[in-house]
Amino acid sequence: MAISCNSLIMDLFLTNTQPASSACTGLLWTTIRLPWKRPKSVVKPILSLQRFQRLVLRSLTLYWQNKNLKVKSAKEGKDQNAKNSLESLLYKPVDRVTRSTLVLHDLLKHTPSSHPDHPLLQDALRISQNFLSSINEEITPRRQSMTVKKGENRQLLRDQFMVELVEGSRKLRHVFLFTDLLLCAKLKKQTGGKGQQYDCKWYIPLADVTFQTIDESESSPVPQIPEEEIDAMKVKISQIKNEMQREKRVCKGGKVLDRLRKKLCEQESLLLLISPCMAFRVSNRNGKGYTFLISSDYEREEWREIIREQQKKCFKSFSLTSLELQMLTNSCVKLQTVHNVPLTINKEYDESTGLYGFLNVIVHSATGLKQSLNLYCTLEVDTFGYFVNKAKTRVYRDATEPNWNEEFEIELEGSQTLRLLCYSKVRQCRDDGENMDRIMAKGQIQLDPQSLQGKDWQRTVISMNGIEVKLSMRFTSREFSLKRMPSRKQSGVFGVKIGAVTKREHSKVPLIVRQCVEEIERRGLEEVGIYRVSGVATDIQALKAAFDANNKDISVMMSEMDVNAIAGTLKLYFRELPEPLFTDELYANFTEGIALSDSVAKESCMLNLLLSLPEPNLLTFLFLLDHLKRVAENESVNKMSFHNLATVFGPTLLRPSEKDSKIPSNPTQPISMSDSWSLEVMSQVQVLLYFLQLEAIPTPDSKRQSMLFSTEV
């Protein structure tokens, strides 16, 4: 037996401070009567609140300290063996409340609603039911609701841990959406063995909830966390997980593992706070606004939909007394459906959880639209616990059954879920990159490793809001996707050594690199997510075939294609080089040089290594480096910082050939999330980031002459 002390105190105090008519006075007393003497006046409170609190707290403390204490009843004095436990005695007033509750039901059934006692009976029934519901600690469907005034049921519709922006600071909150109000609570720290408790920060009746418009949102921009800070946090998390796995293999527990768990919890909690950047803003009827930060448009739309749907039921505005608010906040402990902060440390760590590699997705078509729209789809996957936009189809105009048939290649980092959102094109995105188009439908599917292991395409249908979107998927695991495969025919450019291509073309930089860069700089510098958002795979393959065949109409093809496909073609070229641009021979030197702590020694080492590259490799890299710096100059529009570009291109330019890679190729030892980030990938990112951040790359005179760029380059 476990009784909520606060709930009990408030229920009883609230009942006994209310005036009662003569018809209900005795009934109200019977409902909540405790085993002490009834006072003469029933209109006044039975006890002062302070004294009553002391009595109840004393009783509960006595119970927990003496659970097995046996008490002799006065009626059973003759029987020496007849004893009652303290627990059974404490249950007796509860039994009386249970019986009285049934009487209240019968009385309400036969009392006209116009009778002055009717609201008092309702209040008595409400208090009795809330008291009884606080007895049972088991999580049952009944506990998803609580009775409020006038006999209405307040049900919990949804709850979730979210990040709230409070005066520029990020705070972790637990948000509860009930059938009539939205409540934001703070989870108190558990001390002294106490159970979970919440502190209410604010609430808004659903009738008063409004969503801020774009213009209102622009007045309070969301402070952005630098990408390098977020990725540095990921590196720390990955390194701690590596240490934990090694520790488990060695001793399977101990103080060291406990210390690592604590560090992991701290780092994941911090990442949970700093990673979301998409604003979800709500206001009350007085215009007071509250801002939550989430990572996905999908999640934001879910909250909007469920609130709008509930608002259609025409709830009226109201206000809660301090006692009612405290009772509601206390009930959240039992009503919550999300019990833990969404950290991997709260789950049993499983090295095989999630997929690592590349997921090819074909978005075929959509059916079920009731009117012609300009429709496009975006694809999101989860990584490190939050969702990232990875691909976007073209806009299919004025159609009720759009047929995109577009293929995308999406890199997965421990991903478990694929989300799809369908948008109706309204107007261009805002300057800060936030989408203003209307979401028509959304859905998601779980990425099942078992069904995706085969080489065949897996067809599926996502049903959402009456609209069905057909997809095909095929997964390539990391141990196969990371292989650099030399081309069998040396006449093309993909999979052919860069020196052989430049020698054949009589150029210093391969033609494919120059043409892709020129087209992207012509119309892609302001494209949001350029190089990060996946291009259509069929377009990329068409461009690849055209370059390999030395098609003379390649410029015309590129001008008619989406700029993300051109960016994807350029990335694919560097990824398929049989040897990385930074060469296998120097790869280990670059990763060791970037780890040097002395800045002067690091600069000397990194520049000497760079100038040691073969001339075609060096000139191509410097040409690409200038281009990436021009892309980053438009960061305010395209959202591609130096760090974002280094994250995209670092592994592409530095990842060694299979024979030199440190990544294990044994399929029985899958690549874990921590391996992919902490061992090699982040080192490759840091090397490229170092050169991007250098204002200029000084070169000796012997090299300077050969590095003069002309129209031939």
The region of weakest confidence among 47-61, 99-113, 305-319, 574-588 is 47-61
Which of these, 560, 556, 607, lies nearest to 586 by C-alpha position? 607
* Mean pLDDT of all residues belonging to the chain: 77
Tokens (6 digits) for 288: 């007071």
Statement: residue 291 has pLDDT above 90: yes
Burial class (CB in 10 A: 0-12, 13-18, 19+), 548: middle
Per-residue pLDDT tens for 75-94?
444 455 555 555 566 666 66
- Look at residue 46 in the predicted model and tell me its pLDDT: 44
Tell whether the model's pLDDT for residue 358 goes beyond 80.
Answer: yes
pLDDT recorded at residue 443: 92
pLDDT score at 145: 58
Q: What pLDDT, on a 0 to 100 scale, did the predictor assign at position 494?
A: 92
pLDDT bin (cut points 50, 70, 90) of residue 11 is very low
Q: Rounded distance, CA 126 to CA 124, Å?
A: 5
pLDDT single digits (tens) 532-555: 888 888 889 899 999 999 888 898
Task: Please report where in the chains the tokens 């006044």 appear, as a residue.
Answer: 44
Angle in degrees, 0-180, between the axes of helices 599-611 and 584-593, rounded to the nearest 10:
170
Q: Of 117, 83, 121, 118, which is closest to residue 104 (Cα–Cα)?
A: 121
Q: Per-residue pLDDT for 35 more than 60?
A: no
For tokens 């540095």, the residue is: 232
Quick one: average pLDDT of 262-287?
88
CA angle 269, 271, 277 (to 5 degrees): 125
Radius of gyration of the chain (CA): 33
Percent share of the chain, pLDDT over 70: 71
Distance in angstroms (rounded) separating the CA atoms of residues 373 and 401: 9
Q: Which of 445-449's residues contact partners 24+ apart within 8 Å by CB, and which partners?
A: 445/417, 445/418, 446/416, 446/417, 447/355, 447/359, 447/381, 447/412, 447/415, 447/416, 447/417, 447/418, 447/475, 449/352, 449/355
The pLDDT score that the predictor gives to residue 617 is 95
What's the pTM?
0.61
- CA-CA distance, 669 to 5, in Å (whole number)? 52
DSSP assignments along 533-600, one per residue: SBPPHHHHHHHHHHHHTT-TTHHHHHHHS-HHHHHHHHHHHHHT-SS-TT-HHHHHHHHHHTT-S-HH
Q: According to the model, what pLDDT value does residue 260 have?
A: 86
Strand partners, 442: 421
DSSP 45-73: -SS-HHHHHHHHHHHHHHHHH-TT-EE--
Backbone angles phi, psi at 179, to 5 degrees: -65, -15
Tens digits of residue pLDDT in 121-167: 877 877 777 666 665 544 344 445 565 555 567 889 999 999 999 98
For residue 351, report the phi and psi dihedrals to the nearest 5 degrees: -65, -25
Integer Cα distance of 214 and 158 in angstroms: 26
Q: What percent of the chain has pLDDT over 90?
A: 35
> What local confidence, expressed as pLDDT, does residue 669 receive?
39
Entry field: residues in the chain: 713
Checking if the pLDDT of 411 tops 90, the result is no
The confidence band for 690, taking pLDDT boundaries of 50, 70 and 90, is: very high
pLDDT in tens, 502-521: 999 999 999 999 999 999 99
Q: What share of the chain is helix, strand, coil (3-state, %, to 5)?
A: 45, 20, 35
d(CA 227, CA 190): 33
**Per-residue pLDDT, 592:** 92
**Please, are residues 260 and 244 in contact by the beta-carbon 8 Å criterion?**
yes
Q: Read off the pLDDT of residues 587-618 as tens digits, 9 standing for 90 and up.
A: 999 999 998 989 999 999 999 999 999 999 99
> Per-residue DSSP letters for 172-186?
EEEEEEESSEEEEEE
CA distances from 469 to 143, 162, 396 (A): 37, 30, 14
Residue 667 above 50 pLDDT?
Answer: no
